[in-house]
Structure 1
Amino acid sequence: MAIQLGIRPIAVLLSLAVGMIGAIAHASWASYRPPANIGRPGNREGAATRIARPMLLRESTGGTESCLTEPKQTVVALVPKDNNGLTSTSTPTLYSFIPANRGAVLTLTLRDPQGTEVYRQERPAPTAAGILGWPVENVSLKNGVDYQWQLTLTCTNGTTALKTLSWLRPVPLSRSQQQRIVQAKDVAAAFAMAGYWYDVLNQLAKQRLAPPENAQLQQKWQALLQSAPVQLTNVANQPLLPWPSQP
């Protein structure tokens, strides 16, 4: 009996220690630090727009019903609540939640502060709901410039379009930041503390997509998206989708 009484307190202490470690890990991922020197308006959640079509075209495409299979879902850009973020690279990967649909096309465009389009690509949208990362390729963005990126989902029957408007600013890492990230055991956490939103998100996403599945990475991902500066709880549990093939 004495042995059993001795084991129980130890088990309780171990349980508390594990809980404290989990709480500390969650707290660290809830401390993404958004830069204080950026801020532009936008809309990270897409609002549906009905597209007027001639009667003949409506009939030939099978009607005017939206292609979305879950009416409460919409396109959501994975950006902080202020709709802005830094990237350490001129070719970032941009992440968005794509709603379930019966057939749609995604269009990604980037514009400079003068409104000039510097990037435009189209891809078929995945039909299953989930989070998709879009690597921006074949364009070199200028450091220190705010670029507006817009993701549009258009139903292939031409009836509904969903648009988001968000911002990114390429800023190279300083020498001290580079050293901290190179030496960090957790690179994504180092990017989070430095305030580089698109880098931390891409680091975690790549780790999550690499086999085998890791429950701890899922917890970090959820903690980041649910943190106070981000507040994307509505899509934090959505699966990551593979990059779609060329149209």
Structure 2
Amino acid sequence: MKCILTTALILSSTTQYSAQVTDQTKQPVKTLASPQQATSRPVFILPKAPASLSPISGRRAGMGSRDNCPAVPTPLTALVPFQEKQKVGEHKNKSIIGIVEGLTTLERPTFWFYIPYTKDLSNSSAEFSLQDSAENDVYRNAIALPSKPSVIGISLSSTAASLEVDKTYRWYLKIHCNKEAASIPVYVEGDIKRVNLDSRVMQQIEAANQPRQKIIIYAQKGIWFDALNMLAQIRISNYRDASLEEDWQSLLQSINLDNIATMPLMKLPNR
């Protein structure tokens, strides 16, 4: 009798387990959202590079106390990703040096800066320059200060040499608030490297139907300058579009430039 009861219990347990397994296999399989579906706004993701583009530190924000420049609430700032080398206690110095760099696929990218100084400053001057790894000038040009504090784009002229793939270049923006004074200018500096996209990313870019989708892909793949340039150009052309403004704020906030995200935006003509 005990043997029959034990056998019955085993058969009952086996039947219940088989039914559970069958039910689980009938459940729909959950698929992970694609990167484009996971976020509705462009967010920059730092690429997994083995090392920085250059061993030389950069400066994303300028020091406003130099060259007799007027005090400004927000300093001269390059719109580029920034990685601090070290913290300075609890006080975060906005002009601290660190790794300032970004990638591009473009031959002649546009560089974007927030400039707090205006053309009303007498005897002022500004200059943008680009150098190769041997410190030879690739491009150098005087820059007109904006009529009001703004984010501006500085494009390489069509006559400038195109950036070579897999080479790192150093850029500088220097502003003298009084060019007659022999003092150090307010400046920012950093690195840019031109790269080729791998075939999978190229397919994603080509398959994207809207520029906004391309911007999101560039940002997620760590191609900073392409994402920023494309979004800036669209924003300038559609400055009343609130959704594009939110995209712009999302992209800048993702590299901790919340204080720049709401500043006016304009593009300077080539000179």
Task: Using the TM superposition, name which of 37-46 and 193-202 deviates more.
Answer: 37-46
Q: Structure 2 CA distance, aligned partners of 1:212 and 1:72? A: 25
1:215 and 2:237 are equivalent in the alignment: no
Q: Tell me: CA distance 1:216–1:158, structure 2 relative to 1, closer, same or farther (3 Å).
A: farther
Equivalent-residue separation in structure 2 for 1:126 and 1:136 (angstroms): 18
Equivalent residue in structure 2 for 1:170, among 181, 194, 197? 194
In terms of fraction of residues, the more helix-rich structure is 1
Q: Report the equivalent of 1:14.
A: none
Amino acid at match of 1:36: K
| Normalised TM-score (structure 2) | 0.69
CA distance in 1, matches of 2:204, 2:59: 33
Distance 1:118 1:181, change over 3 A: same
Structure 2: runs of 5 or more not aligned:
1-37, 84-99
Residues 195-210 of structure 1: pairs in structure 2 closer than 5 A: 195-210=222-237
* SS class of match (1:84): strand
CA distance in 1, matches of 2:79, 2:239: 24
> 1:98, CA displacement in angstroms?
0.5
The equivalent residue for 1:6 is none
Structure 1 residues 157 and 118, CA gap change in structure 2 (3 angstroms): closer
Distance 1:158 1:48, change over 3 A: farther
Distance 1:111 1:233 in 2: 29
The partner residue of 1:45 within 48, 61, 64 is 61
Question: Which of 117, 124, 129 is the equivalent residue of 1:109?
Answer: 129
1:118 aligns to 2:138 (yes or no): yes
User: 2:203 — aligned with what?
Assistant: 179
- Cα distance 1:128–1:145, how it changes in 2: closer, same or farther (>3 A)? same
**Partner of residue 103, structure 2:** 86
Number of residue pairs matched?
204
TM-aligned CA deviation for residue 242 of structure 1: 3.4
CA distance change for structure 1 residues 212 and 92 in 2, over 3 Å: closer, same or farther? closer
Aligned position for 2:30? none
Structure 1 window deviating more from structure 2 (131-140 vs 236-245): it is 236-245
Residue 45 (structure 2) aligns with: 33
1:240 aligns with 2:262: no
Amino acid at match of 1:99: P
Deviation readout 1:212-243 (Å, 9 max, x if unpaired):
5210111111111111xx11111111010231
C-alpha distance in 1, partners of 2:179/2:131?
A: 27
Q: Which moved more, 1:198-207 or 1:102-111?
A: 102-111
Report the 3-state secondary structure (helix = DSSP H, G, I; strand = E; otherwise coil) of the residue aligned with 1:72: coil
The one-letter amino acid paired with 1:241 is M
Alpha-carbon shift at residue 157 of structure 1 (Å): 5.1
Separation (CA, whole Å) in 2 of partners of 1:212 and 1:221: 11
1:16 aligned partner: none
User: CA separation in 1, counterparts of 2:239 and 2:148?
Assistant: 22
Contact 1:123–1:244 at 8 Å: present in 2 too? no
Query: Residues of 2 paired with 1:245 and 1:166: CA distance?
Result: 21
Q: What RMSD over aligned residues (CA atoms) do the two structures have, in Å? A: 2.1
| Aligned ranges 1:4-153 → 2 under 5 Å | 24-26=39-41, 29-30=42-43, 32-37=44-49, 38-39=51-52, 40=54, 41-48=57-64, 50-51=66-67, 66=69, 68=70, 70-82=71-83, 83-101=100-118, 102-103=120-121, 104-137=124-157, 138-153=160-175
Residue 48 of structure 1 and its aligned partner are, at CA, apart by 4.1
Q: CA deviation at 1:193?
A: 1.6
Tell which structure's C-alpha radius of gyration is larger: 2
